[in-house]
Structure 1
């Protein structure tokens, strides 16, 4: 008996929350749930019953499920065709897939290539098989000679004296430092502004000529490689997926630049970052890999008074209109930027 063709549709979780009930039920059969960052679902129904779905969050495909009875019907290809159309209409051609290892064969048949895998937990794939190689070739032009080369990854939301101290420590102990600024626009300050602040703050350091500041890439702490950083994530989720980002860093990014040491600050405030830092030792130093191990250097946080200097502390002071109290926590270049952006908004009006 021939099957009726599936009916494809697009669901916007923000404006169609009631339509998500069937999606939740289908995902639950695969041990999945609806991630809060999914902005749309492409769904397929056959004779009124939901039989397949794909979610899109930025340029990451996730929350994918196809009913068991649909295997071999070509439904996955139909869903992906529609998803490609939806993504391209939003200007996104470079797509990643974040899914279970059991789905690898399906997505390989749809043109995706494996990037990294946490065995038994999650895989990361992309639809442009040479994109990572292009990224590494571009980085190779910025390789700096030396026995000890440091790598630092910052969100810098905004860039504080704590961030500056971490980079300065790495520069004092190593021959050169490569700094990446997370490129996702999921913070109070834009990626462009954060990158400019990091570059300005690092330029003021004594060893500035040995510090290379890079804009973020999709392969270094992005919504594809480490989505838990951008979500309210559970301990198990962080531990399960941190390996994706760390494998890419060790096996590709660090390898092409000769990075020997990864520098991080102690993390008393963010549980997600603290868990990620804890996973580093295994994935960078102990996990089986063709790439050499990377030494993990954990630097005690710089403090101002009894509290550690942190970007969250700076943001809280800005939100409370206490901009003057931010000055001891950030480099002069960051403070000048904050004064220009927030001085009028945080000024206290005179009492009449």
Structure 2
């Protein structure tokens, strides 16, 4: 590199190296996200002058010292991260950054997607948002009153079914977008199968993969990190901006449903943001009170707690027969063991 600058990997498994990176980012009013998997830095001797990190296919944590601007360091960092992704067979990437950096990343080939006020999202590579919209067009309907629910279903419960049953009565067609990010104890393919089986008798329901564009590590990383801070509001707004700009129009979605959230503060914030922002785009937000058993909301987290306690008799009051059947299968027993051995809230 120019002027003796050196690009090298930062060992984030080292507490000392990670703390150096954290302090460097603090100087730019940035935090070191808990989900980062790789970090690189550009060094002038032993002094870090620029850095970038990677989480999945999301580039984040860009910082370049003011006195080293104009040396094309951002382009160097982006190229390195794209190279690392390509070695993994990943040919699409996102940049999650501050609005003032938009022109910098557009100049190296990234396309602006959405804004959450304090954060913006850009993407680059193959099978991007335009590709996803074309896939959504396959599900278009002539019906005029379409609604949607975004669900993780970790796993599919009677609470989820109750919400779907309530929602489908209020629209001509109900689209269910499944959170595709694979960070749950129930893997995506299993979650999808349980939703499909658990709703097979309900008419006018269409199940769609959420891909990278609905509650993903690109659009809403705080949803998975579960660390409540000021950025959660911006991330929620960004995810909603993406939904209203690209997804709702192609499917003519006029209503979005969600279950009330008595426990999780991140989801509660997301619901509140939807109630404020969706009507501005002609979309009604309807929050449905949760189904309760014994005075407590039926939730996926409650189900996982019962699994950890081994209380399978109680699960019969929380789960549809299709999910219970899965848990007793060979594949299901492996998931049960994973839950019992995990302390993850997801």
Q: Using structure 1 for the length normalisation, give the TM-score.
A: 0.91
**Aligned mate of 1:79, from 58, 77, 80:** 77
Please state if 1:198 is matched with 2:195. Answer: yes
After TM superposition, give the deviation of residue 345 of structure 1 in Å.
5.5
Q: Which residue of 1 aligns with 2:343?
A: none
Deviation string 1:262-287 (CA, Å, 9 cap, x unpaired) is 0001001111101100000222113x
Please state if 1:294 is matched with 2:292. Answer: no
Does structure 1 conserve the Cα–Cα contact (< 8 Å) formed by 2:92 and 2:127?
no
Please state if 1:22 is matched with 2:20. Answer: yes
SS for the counterpart of 2:316 is helix
User: What are structure 1's unaligned runs of at least 5 residues?
Assistant: 287-291, 347-352
After TM superposition, give the deviation of residue 166 of structure 1 in Å.
0.9
Q: Which residue of 2 aligns with 1:303?
A: 292
After TM superposition, give the deviation of residue 11 of structure 1 in Å.
2.2
Matches within 5 A, 1:90-109: 90-109=88-107
CA distance in 1, matches of 2:2, 2:231: 38
Please state if 1:339 is matched with 2:328. Answer: yes
Q: Number of paired residues? A: 335
Please state if 1:271 is matched with 2:268. Answer: no
After TM superposition, give the deviation of residue 173 of structure 1 in Å.
1.3
SS for the counterpart of 1:179 is strand
After TM superposition, give the deviation of residue 238 of structure 1 in Å.
1.4
**Aligned mate of 2:274, from 249, 256, 280:** 280
Q: Kindly tell me: are residues 345 and 234 of structure 1, through their superposed partners in 2, closer, same or farther at Cα, counting changes over 3 Å?
A: closer
**Aligned mate of 1:88, from 86, 89, 112:** 86
Q: Which residue of 2 aligns with 1:4?
A: 3
Deviation string 1:45-73 (CA, Å, 9 cap, x unpaired) is 01221011111001111111111111101
SS for the counterpart of 1:241 is helix
**Aligned mate of 2:237, from 215, 220, 243:** 243
CA distance in 2, matches of 1:342, 1:306: 29
Matches within 5 A, 1:183-222: 183-205=180-202, 207=203, 210-222=204-216
Q: Which residue of 2 aligns with 1:349?
A: none
SS for the counterpart of 1:185 is coil
Matches within 5 A, 1:41-190: 41-119=39-117, 121-128=118-125, 131-190=128-187
Q: Kindly tell me: are residues 180 and 38 of structure 1, through their superposed partners in 2, closer, same or farther at Cα, counting changes over 3 Å?
A: same
SS for the counterpart of 2:105 is helix
Deviation string 1:280-319 (CA, Å, 9 cap, x unpaired) is 0222113xxxxx4210011110111211110000000111
CA distance in 2, matches of 1:5, 1:95: 29
Q: Which residue of 2 aligns with 1:33?
A: 31
Does structure 2 conserve the Cα–Cα contact (< 8 Å) formed by 1:159 and 1:334?
yes
After TM superposition, give the deviation of residue 90 of structure 1 in Å.
2.1
After TM superposition, give the deviation of residue 334 of structure 1 in Å.
0.7
User: What are structure 2's unaligned runs of at least 5 residues?
Assistant: 339-346
Q: Which residue of 2 aligns with 1:232?
A: 226
**Aligned mate of 1:256, from 236, 250, 258:** 250
Q: Which residue of 2 aligns with 1:330?
A: 319
CA distance in 1, matches of 2:131, 2:295: 46
Q: Kindly tell me: are residues 198 and 12 of structure 1, through their superposed partners in 2, closer, same or farther at Cα, counting changes over 3 Å?
A: farther
Q: Which residue of 1 aligns with 2:308?
A: 319
